[in-house]
Amino acid sequence: MSFGVWLLMSSIPFEQQRAIALVDCNNFYASCERLFQPQLSNRPIVVLSNNDGCIVARSNEAKALGIGMGTPLFKVKDEIKKYRIAVFSSNYTLYGDLSKRVMDTLKTFTPNVEVYSIDESFLDLAGFEHHNLQQYGEVMRKTVMQWTGIPVSIGIGSTKTLAKTANHLSKKSPTHNGVLNLNAVHDLTAVLESVAIQDVWGIGRRWSDRLHQMGIHTARQLRDADTNDLKKRFNVILARTSQELRGIPCIELEEEQPDRQQIISSRSFGERIEQIHPLQQALSHFVSRAAAKLRKQHLQARHISVFIQTSPHSKDPVTDPYYKNSQSTRLSTPSDNTGELIQHALQLLEQIYQPGHRYLRAGIMLSDLTPYAQRQGDLFAPVVQKSDNNPLMQALDNINQKMGVGTLRYASEGFGGHWQMRQSRKSPRYTTRWDELAVVR
DNA sequence: TCTGGGGTCCTAGGACCC
DNA sequence: TCTGGGGTCCTAGGACCC
């Protein structure tokens, strides 16, 4: 951009304030479960992490009972009985499908949508200034509820961080009708003063502790802190957050999903594993899942790593010491071939496996990913057909897509051993399986 | 007894190059 | 005998997010 053009743009006196909305599904997993079991409408609900380990979602009733996010299930057993809390294993097939319905609904309100996570989207409302954004948000909210049955909250601000803040506030206070537009409030400073520093997007435990020590306790104080000082004492990320609170956009909307940089597949086991054989099966399974994901995105991996670990919560460090290790290797040429990647993974496992430990968790990571279309061959290796041209991988993916994940698999994955995770309270896949549809009498 | 999984970005420091 | 300085790439680790 030439200097003249820059001058011209920056001198436009009444530049339109940007408007970004953050739409967030309320207690998303709990809301999904409730949708198909309306008899639970006033009962507390919690949804568990993989392996039924800890609580990752709570309905408002469960929150009101003081059930904390991330609490291990066994610690709240009494409360669950006492208050008849409904408990579900996580059902990602169901949540993923309902998420897509919500996002599709939102896309009818503006074409510029960044799906930020399974239950959140940023919407660019530029060009909607002639609307009353408060009302527009309320219509959005009503429509999503009517079309999908999922309640959402909406926050609007001139940057992503302010939109996040608005969303946080809209949930806290019922007077906003689930929609809060910070662009329209009279005293933004007072509003930001009411937001605790740890509730600002991008400020986690560590940083909020350090900020408190520096005397910065609220969003307003972070907004007014010296940018260079923040950059020096923390890093540019925090400096950007401060700028965003000032209304200076530093984090752009990303409508196009960038290519993945890594794909991880890992799990805690249903039972502890000591032998190498079930570990081999589990890792083969993890590689299969990751490789399928890789092919779905038309990527190939150049780097693979394997990790295994015992429980960090072991009671006796002498008989049951904590052990974790990982090993990785660089492939001579990028691959998306499940069989080839399994071979590498199992070789890496040999290098780090130590007998005598009770392993709790293992996983693999594929990284250094490049699009298949841009692959570079190995000058000295025989030409191997991969991905799109590989009929075996194609057939594998096609069959598994039609008949269900895991229908066709590598023998090294075995047939379901102890390593498989516990999911004792999973609801049906109401919206994606014919044989699990809800029945109306 | 029982404590998730999958991502991103940034920085510091070492190896290496010219 | 005297032995620089600037740059890039890679990796590990730390912080964050949902």
Query: Shortest CA–C1' contact from A56: which nucleotide?
Result: B4
Evaluate if the CB of A204 falls below 7 Å from strand B. Answer: no
Give the C-alpha separation, A170 to A42, whole Å.
21
Evaluate if the CB of A58 falls below 7 Å from strand B. Answer: no
**Helical ranges in A114-204 per DSSP H:** 133-148, 160-172, 188-193
Evaluate if the CB of A334 falls below 7 Å from strand B. Answer: no
Residue among A370, A362, A333 nearest A345 (CA):
A362
For A128 and C1, how far is CA from C1' in angstroms? 76
Q: Are strands A55-58 and A45-48 parallel, antiparallel or unpaired?
A: antiparallel
Query: Which amino acid belongs to residue A213?
Result: Q
Helices vs. strands in chain A: H and E counts, helices first? 15, 12
* Chain centroid to CA A393: 28
Query: Shortest CA–C1' contact from A204: which nucleotide?
Result: C16
For A120 and B7, how far is CA from C1' in angstroms? 15
For A398 and B14, how far is CA from C1' in angstroms? 46
Evaluate if the CB of A261 falls below 7 Å from strand B. Answer: yes
Give the C-alpha separation, A101 to A118, whole Å.
11
Q: In sequence order, which residues have a C-beta less than 8 Å from that of residue A302 and are 6 or more positions away? A: A330, A331, A333, A334, A335, A367, A368, A369, A370
Cβ A269 vs Cβ A421: under 8 Å: yes
> How high is the pLDDT of residue A380?
63
For A100 and B17, how far is CA from C1' in angstroms? 50
For A187 and B5, how far is CA from C1' in angstroms? 40
* Chain centroid to CA A424: 23
Q: What is the DSSP string of A93-136?
A: HHHHHHHHHHHHHHTTT-S-EEEEETTEEEEE-TT-TTS-HHHH
The bases of strand B with some atom under 7 A from any protein CB are 1-11
Q: In sequence order, which residues have a C-beta less than 8 Å from that of residue A66 and are 6 or more positions away? A: none
The mean pLDDT values, 10 residues at a time, for chain A of 441 residues are 40 66 97 94 94 93 94 93 95 95 97 96 92 95 97 97 97 88 96 97 95 96 95 93 97 90 93 93 95 93 92 78 88 91 94 92 92 71 57 91 85 80 88 86 80
Give the C-alpha separation, A383 to A410, whole Å.
23
> How high is the pLDDT of residue A384?
55
Cβ A89 vs Cβ A48: under 8 Å: yes
Max CA distance (Å), chain A = 73
Place of tokens 């074409």: A111
For A439 and B7, how far is CA from C1' in angstroms? 37
The bases of strand C with some atom under 7 A from any protein CB are 11, 14-18
> How high is the pLDDT of residue A407?
86
Query: Shortest CA–C1' contact from A118: which nucleotide?
Result: C18
Cβ A43 vs Cβ A109: under 8 Å: no
Evaluate if the CB of A326 falls below 7 Å from strand B. Answer: no
Phi, psi at A46, each rounded to 5°: -130, 150
Evaluate if the CB of A260 falls below 7 Å from strand B. Answer: yes
For A328 and B15, how far is CA from C1' in angstroms? 19
Evaluate if the CB of A327 falls below 7 Å from strand B. Answer: no
Evaluate if the CB of A160 falls below 7 Å from strand B. Answer: no
CB atoms near residue A197 (< 10 Å): 18
Residue nearest C18 (alpha carbon to C1') = A117
Residue among A194, A242, A239, A235 nearest A218 (CA):
A194
Give the C-alpha separation, A423 to A433, whole Å.
18
Query: Shortest CA–C1' contact from A236: which nucleotide?
Result: B10
> How high is the pLDDT of residue A3?
39
Query: Shortest CA–C1' contact from A314: which nucleotide?
Result: B3
Evaluate if the CB of A266 falls below 7 Å from strand B. Answer: yes
Give the C-alpha separation, A253 to A244, whole Å.
13
Cβ A365 vs Cβ A283: under 8 Å: no
Evaluate if the CB of A360 falls below 7 Å from strand B. Answer: yes
